[in-house]
């Protein structure tokens, strides 16, 4: 049983030196210069895949004095859905290893890291996957050998995927995202090794415009997040709305990052004063929570913010957090675009095997999941926890009897994309090693071969699921 653990990973900053061993052998040796901490989950195998998932909502960074080495950032706010997606990757690898027809005689492993929904940490994690963890590496002139991971499943953020792909693309490390939808990532010149199992926002924008035209809504407002996801969507709307004859935008407002009540109130005031009764929101769940809480407060003060037709992007369409009694009177009837839902037989049973580590050896995140689910704390509990009536975790709690979204297998959307991303990499690897003797697998696998075969298999996946990972045919529906 694999577990999450807190591990020290080595930054891929090297001191490289070269020496001639003989007239026929020349090599370079690189030594790591530092290390940092990441939450990770690992399983050994003949070859490995990498994964990037948001197991925490945010991170805090120490103040930078520029006079000493900064402390490591810390992650906060356990994200059970991010944990579920990471477990889905682990399940998929386990399922592939049990399939005698896919990658026969080859054991697939993985290294998965928590990006804490932060660009800096996600960047570090991606480079740790690409560079490996060895303190010293000898690079022969022939560059034989297998890379630490053959491809990375992730990231879930367009902004992080853009940053990671910009650098890893130089080395042709395949990145297969399950939730990055920015249309900018379709640029094969800028992102030659980026793939995804979710449609580009270009098609989502067109779908929303078709809905507007269907109902005859020609005057709408647009709210976006202040990141690549929202800004590129706004460009697509401004380009496509006019040319399609679908209407005009009454206003375009950028929702603030973090807690900014004054700016939220200003945006709500714009919505109130506008004659547009349709509001399109291309943003993330957190933005909508802050926005709707302000809408709710305005209504309590007898300000008229009702009678609006909300339209949701895929990032918050199926959010259970927003399905609360005090918000449903205003959000009820929202029209939204949802990503494909799929079935993954056996996933629930796999997740029910999760157990905490009572000795606190390797299961830090498993324990966090346990505390989150059962609203308890492992010993020693935080100060004042028991005195305030808090329960202590025993490790004997029954997970199967809990009603939790973690065990919900009827609404597998990002998880299904993770499932397909792992299989895409596995099928590409399977095709490649058919022509390589097993004893030479570690010497003959290259990133370019993986990318080429991902493109080939993108057509197969398109025929199966309607999702194309790589635009190499005349089909324009998905990337």
Least confident range from 293-302, 353-362, 436-445, 458-467: namely 458-467
Question: Residue 206 and residue 211: Cα distance in Å, rounded?
Answer: 9
**Which residues is 294 bridged to in the sheet?**
none
> pLDDT grade, residue 463 (50/70/90)?
very low
Report pLDDT for 215: 94
The predicted pLDDT at position 58 comes to 82
- What is the rounded average pLDDT of the residues 337-359? 90
Q: Is the pLDDT of residue 5 over 60?
A: no
The reply to whether 201-336 shares the fold of 32-199+414-458 is: yes
Residue 258's pLDDT band (cuts 50, 70, 90): confident
pLDDT digits (tens, 9 = 90+) for 170-198: 888 899 999 999 999 999 899 989 999 99
The Cα 105–Cα 84 span in angstroms is 28
466 has a pLDDT exceeding 70:
no
Question: Domain locations in the chain?
Answer: 32-199+414-458, 201-336, 355-398
Cα(9)–Cα(130) distance, integer angstroms: 12
Element (H, E) at 74: strand 74-78
Predicted pLDDT at 465: 43
pTM: 0.83
| Residue of higher predicted confidence among 300 and 221 | 221
- From the number of C-beta atoms within 10 Å of its C-beta (0-12, 13-18, 19+), residue 52 rates as buried
Write out the H or E segment, with its range, that includes residue 293.
helix 285-300
User: How many helices and strands (H and E) does the chain possess?
Assistant: 13, 17
Q: Does domain 32-199+414-458 have CATH number 3.40.50.2300?
A: yes
Q: What is the mean pLDDT of residues 129-138?
A: 74
List the beta strands (DSSP E) in 295-389.
Answer: 309-312, 335-336, 376-377
pLDDT tens digit sequence for 326-337: 788 888 889 999
Yes or no: say if 41 and 436 are a contact pair by the CB < 8 Å rule: no
Query: Whole-number mean pLDDT of the chain?
Result: 81
3-state DSSP call for residue 104?
Answer: coil
Yes or no: domain 201-336 corresponds to CATH 3.40.50.2300: yes
- d(CA 479, CA 457) in angstroms, rounded, equals 12
């Amino acid at each position: 049983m694999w577990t999450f653990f807190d591990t020290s990973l080595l930054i891929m900053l090297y001191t490289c030196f070269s020496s001639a061993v003989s007239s026929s052998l020349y090599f370079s040796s690189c030594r790591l210069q530092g290390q940092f901490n990441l939450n990770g989950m690992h399983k050994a195998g003949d070859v490995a895949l990498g994964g990037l998932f948001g197991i925490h909502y945010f991170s805090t960074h120490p103040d930078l004095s520029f006079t000493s080495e900064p402390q490591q950032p810390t992650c906060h706010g356990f994200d059970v859905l991010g944990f579920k997606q990471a477990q889905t990757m682990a399940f998929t690898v386990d399922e592939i290893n049990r399939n005698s027809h896919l990658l026969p005689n080859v054991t697939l492993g993985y290294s998965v890291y928590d990006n804490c929904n932060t660009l800096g940490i996600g960047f570090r994690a991606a480079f740790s996957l690409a560079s490996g963890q060895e303190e010293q590496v000898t690079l022969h002139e022939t560059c034989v050998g297998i890379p630490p991971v053959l491809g990375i499943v992730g990231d879930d953020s367009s902004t992080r995927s853009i940053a990671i792909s910009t650098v890893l693309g130089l080395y042709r490390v395949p990145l297969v995202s399950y939730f990055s939808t920015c249309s900018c990532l379709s640029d094969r010149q800028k992102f030659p090794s980026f793939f995804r199992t979710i449609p580009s926002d270009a098609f989502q924008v067109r779908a929303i415009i078709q809905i507007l035209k269907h109902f005859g809504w020609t005057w709408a407002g647009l709210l976006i997040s202040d990141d690549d996801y929202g800004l590129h969507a706004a460009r697509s709307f401004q380009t496509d709305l006019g040319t399609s004859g679908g209407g005009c935008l009454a206003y375009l407002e950028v929702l603030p990052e973090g807690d900014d009540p004054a700016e939220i109130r200003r945006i709500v005031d714009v919505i109130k004063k506008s004659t547009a009764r349709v509001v399109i929101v291309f943003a993330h769940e957190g933005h909508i929570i802050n926005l709707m809480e302000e809408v709710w407060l305005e209504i309590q003060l007898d300000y008229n913010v009702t009678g609006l037709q909300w339209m949701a992007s895929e990032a918050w369409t199926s959010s259970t957090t927003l399905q609360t009694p005090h918000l449903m009177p205003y959000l009820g009837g929202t029209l939204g675009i949802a990503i494909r839902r799929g079935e993954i037989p056996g996933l629930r049973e796999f997740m029910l095997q999760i157990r905490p580590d009572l000795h606190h050896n390797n299961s830090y995140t498993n324990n966090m999941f346990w505390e989150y689910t059962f609203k308890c704390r492992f010993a020693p509990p935080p100060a004042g926890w028991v005195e305030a009536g808090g329960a202590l975790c025993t490790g004997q709690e029954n997970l199967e009897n809990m009603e939790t979204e973690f065990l919900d297998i009827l609404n597998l959307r990002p998880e299904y994309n993770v499932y397909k991303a792992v299989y895409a990499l596995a099928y590409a690897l399977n095709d490649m090693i058919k022509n390589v003797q097993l004893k030479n697998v570690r010497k003959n696998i290259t990133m370019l071969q993986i990318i080429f075969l991902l493109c080939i298999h993108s057509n197969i996946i398109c025929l199966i699921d309607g999702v194309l990972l790589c635009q190499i045919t005349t089909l324009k529906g998905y990337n």
